[in-house]
Chain A
Amino acid sequence: MFLLAAITGKYGEGESSDSALVERFIRKDVSAFEELYDRHSRVVYALVVRILQQGSTAEEVVQDVFLHLWRNAGQYQSSRGPFVPWLLTLARNRALDQLRLKSERQRRREDQTEEIPAIAQRPDYEKALDEKRRAERVRSLMSSLSAPQKKAIEMAYFEGLSHSEIAESLHEPLGTVKSWIRNGLLRLKEGLQTAS
């Protein structure tokens, strides 16, 4: 089973798939955008709140993300990957930028905000998974990791910290942190493929 098929999916019968909605929204169809917002604003908002730890700022970032999405609809190319991971990457980058701006930390990532990288090439995804099931699956897989391994991955993802910053924060050797993160992500990948 392809990894992409395991992770991405379309919605149930009677509802338009994300790709069909995205095609419409690229053509500036407001109702398509509205449906995309209703489908994905919760997970985007939850992610941004988790990163910023502040509801009011999180709402500003989420507003910024969706308006950016609308005004730069042409930036998204379905051939470069599924829509939701692209949207989540955009939201995470915006939230981390805001976090770094607030904490006056050096920006380590300068060019990913506007230019979202390709995520996966294969467009043939059919696996149906709603948000709740996705969350349950990822949490279940992450719970199989050791506590420090999970902690290191979360610090990198939600706080935007580098290997050496995490090692310093956890008082662990740099090599250990690198191993935790790589092995943890590989196990997550393996688990996602197996679960499908």
Chain B
Amino acid sequence: MSEHDQFRELIEAYALGALDANERAALEAHLASGCAECAKALEEARLVVTQLAYLAPPAEPSEMLRARVLRSVRADAAGGSGGGSLPMQAGGAQRTSVPMWLWAGIAALLLFSLYSTWEARSMKQIIGDTNQQVVAALKERKQLEEELTMAKHEAWILTDPSSKKIMIMPSDKSMPMVEAMWHPKMGIYVTAQQMPMPKNNKVLQLWLIPKTPGAKPMPSHVFWPDANGKIGEMVANPPDDMADTKALAITEEPAGGSPQPTSTPMWVGGVS
């Protein structure tokens, strides 16, 4: 193979820009020597190489780009310097005028941004309020469920045949009678009407008096009547068994109750 043939084989890669530095330099020296055949082959190879551009997937430049290019060209043609931006050139920080429509777009974007921020805050507030409402509703539901459970419990005690009715009589005949229903497994339900509110910040306290001689009264529930004088107290877990209890008694005690009675019972009712 002649030297010319060797160079001829490099022409296509040279047109493509794929030659490594040493081969490229050698070929350029050969072309510079005036080889007409290689020069002609190179022109044709370059033409073929440009066709590779059509292998690129189709893509559409934006209208914004067209507007920018044409604005710059028109400004150049008019002899102005305003629109001539060449962002890719070295040191190409040239002034670009901003048209009114772009300002309008920026203003619209700003307004939209402010509106979006306001709307986001509103939504956040609504979500926060809704969450609080959900929490309150869940709490109320839980309370209602507890009250329902309690009501069922009370109804069970009041209606079950195994419950024992205990009349707790007042020592003062002007006072109302207190009634207790004691279910051996579910507890004691104490009810009364028109009960006076204990004075001096005191409370009422239920006691279980054991049958065992000398045994101390067992402290139980602390309670007080509502504004209408009604009492409806549930003692779910009495401190002693019904069979071991001789009587129920109610005393007035300091707020919080006492471990031992501090006053004479105002109501007493025999259990068995």
A residues near B, CB below 8 A?
Answer: 3-4, 7-8, 28, 30, 33-34, 37-38, 41-47, 49-50, 55, 58-64, 66-68, 70-71, 81-82, 84-85, 88-89, 91-92, 94, 96, 98, 108-109, 117-121, 131, 134-135, 137-139, 142, 153-154, 156-158, 160-164, 166, 178, 181-182, 185-186, 188-189, 192
Contacts and interface: CB of A to CB of B under 8 A. Distances in A.
B65 A63 contact: yes
A31 to B, nearest CB: 10
B13 A182 contact: yes
Interface residues of B, number: 50
B87 A60 contact: yes
B72 A67 contact: yes
A59 B58 CA distance: 14
A157 B70 contact: no
B37 to A, nearest CB: 13
Q: How would you classify the secondary structure of chain A's contact residues: helix, strand, loop or mixed?
A: helix
B48 to A, nearest CB: 5
Contacts of B45: 185, 189
Contacts of B12: 181-182, 185-186
Contacts of A30: 70, 73-74, 77
Given A61-B88, A70-B73, A3 B18 contact: no
B200 interface: no
Contacts of A44: 61
B86 A68 contact: yes
B236 interface: no
Nearest to A179: B9
A156 B18 contact: yes
A43 B53 contact: yes
Contact of A49 (B40, B59, B66, B86): B59
